[in-house]
Structure 1
Amino acid sequence: MTAPVPGVRQQSRRETREQNGVSFLSPGVLDTAEAISRWICRGGTQSSSGAYCGWRRLGNGELSPPYPEITGYTLGFLSSLWPLDDADTARAAAGCAWLVSRSEAGDLSARPEKTGRAVYTFDVAMTAHGLIRHGLAAGDDRAVAAGLRNAEALVAAERRHGELPCVVPGTADVPLGESWSVQGHAHLLKCVQALLSAASSGLKPAADLAERMVHDAIDQQGDPLDALTGGCRSGDQISLHALCYAAEGLWVWGTHSEDPASLDLSRRATEWVWRQRLPGGGFPGFVPLQGRAADRPVPQSDVLAQALRLVALHRLPAPGLEEAVTTLLKSVHQSGDTAAVCYRPQARELHLNCWASLFAVQALRLHADSRYWLPWFALV
């Protein structure tokens, strides 16, 4: 059997079903994944500054403000497709230049138009990872240096405050509200990926921080899954998006370090998320804390794509798998030879969402062909 190539799809001509129910090739699934990938590569949410934005309104084409975290995600994704054609290479270079200039200016703020000067460590990590991966793929030493600078900021924040904070103290100049991104810490486990990339480029303290974060999650008193879900609180609800981030970070560490305890907790978190599946095949963004009244669930395509991706990475048997894949396909808006994922497909005003589309490309490829796989650093 031919060894798989990291991050490269090898398409089979025949329709298959695997006994574990995890991978199947269905007409249109791979085509849709490729169409979404083209939308991303061609700058579906790229602004004139070079930055990638979170979404584009379907109705009028208006872009959301520039988004450092999403620019980092996109650069990481594009690095796994290298070499790109000349036009796509230029677009990636423009996005990289925008992030590099912010890093060199010491601007690590997340979303100035919404959260002021607040520095979210999660966002810093995603930009660090994207810069390092892009820099390594493109041979851009300046990008790697900027990524390492951002990773060093994470290490410094943990040293100063005793743990990696959600928001660096003293940086918030506007009220941030109560949400999983400031209230819980479990989602920060995904920062492990950026820390490992930084460590592989020479920043050893980053690996030590990543190991401490994972061990803190695993070595909880009682059931670490309870602590993990509790660390995804958003008011009186649990964010499934945040819990998927936590599971992804644990998978990254477990895959990189061959750590069965980390992989087991990631697997259990994935199973927990999957049990929240809606009757129509999708997933809500939030579920109520135990004993709290449930609001009407609002399906979110980013959670759906994340859950599908995690199930595939863990090779888990998942009830309703094909229905969930079909639901994700139904959330896709086609335009010519490109396609994008609508964030909330049932909303009156549709947004073509960049991060949900990035997750969806990988989820669909994983489910469409069992020979496609992702190394730890290629996961978006």
Structure 2
Amino acid sequence: MALQPAIVELLEISPDFVRDPYPVYAKLREQGPVHHVRAPGGRETWLVVGHDACRAAFNDPRLSRDWRRSGNVGQIINADQDHPALAHMLMADPPDHTRLRRLVSREFTPRRIEALAPRIQQITDELLDAMEADPKRRTDLIDAFAFPLPMTVICELLGVPELDRDAFRAWSNEMVAPTSPEAEASAYAQMPRFLNGLIDAKRAAPGEDLLSGMIHAVDDGGDRLTPDELIGMSVLLLIAGHETTVNMIGNGLRALFAHPEQLADLRADLDGLLDGAIEEMLRHDGPVENSTERLALEDVEMGGVVIPAGSTVLISMADADRDPARFEDADRFDIRRDARGHIAFGHGLHHCLGAPLARTEGRIALRSLLERFPELGRDAGNEKLSWVPGMLIRGVRELPVRW
């Protein structure tokens, strides 16, 4: 007989949950794969933990991402049900998801990503030049490097002109980790307004960029993206196109600083160890802690527990990738580990379309940073870090370093 568990208060298990959620997830995993929890901030959700259970949940059609048709988006986002910023493939199930992903994939090609590598290197070098010119020999690495690199890349890829990066950063932060319902609603109002004007300009005078390509992309059956879908896909690509890389760089460097012997090994053999180190950074402390919210379309039984129809469900990628049933000594950071099989970029039909871009940026960023600054390390005078709130993004707001 299926159980109806009591609500678990995550902050009661550990007041330090936001900084280090892994012991909490591990404790829950030992008890079973599904838990009814109250997150920091007070929101109730159902949480799936464990590698096998998480992979199964990603592939379960009863756990839907189509909130606009099947549920109430107000359950997860402070935005209108038919808001154009939500008209994208991450908020859709097949066949709509299949159609949207096909249209975008026609333009977001491996060839386009490969062609970006020299420009990614150039942007990286310019940012490192600016760091190197600072006589203080210390900076906030997020602000000086980890944020502007992928932000510049995704804006150039999409064809977004020099926008107010501070304003965009504020909108993006509120969309992925809201500080208040009012601030979240304001971000959802302002970003689409900007993009609507940009799309009109691209439609009148298209370029070689991804957004122009999406506007004019037509499949073999004559299908194309609607105006709302163009806004939604632009919002998704702009936000997802930088958040993962910012926090992959930040989290990866924190792990290397905490394991100086591995940092030394990586510096000594970048050619041999860098690719594996990137995958281990993603597995050990990836940029996305939990999936975006799923909606239970019906009562869903998993691991002897029934998730009631209409419930919000999170899939814990962070815990899946620390599951000792899948990875030996899973809490240990080891750049020589075979980390393949991690689900840091999701799993199944919503696997991140931009994963190849994030990996390319990560490789170029880390190689260049470590080669340019042989003495790079945490700034010992700034030990307390500010963490991104919420349970979606895993990362720090700043990372003080010196060299």
- TM norm. shorter chain > 0.5: no
Please report the TM-score for the alignment, with normalisation by the length of structure 1: 0.30
Query: What TM-score, normalized by structure 2, do the two folds share?
Result: 0.29
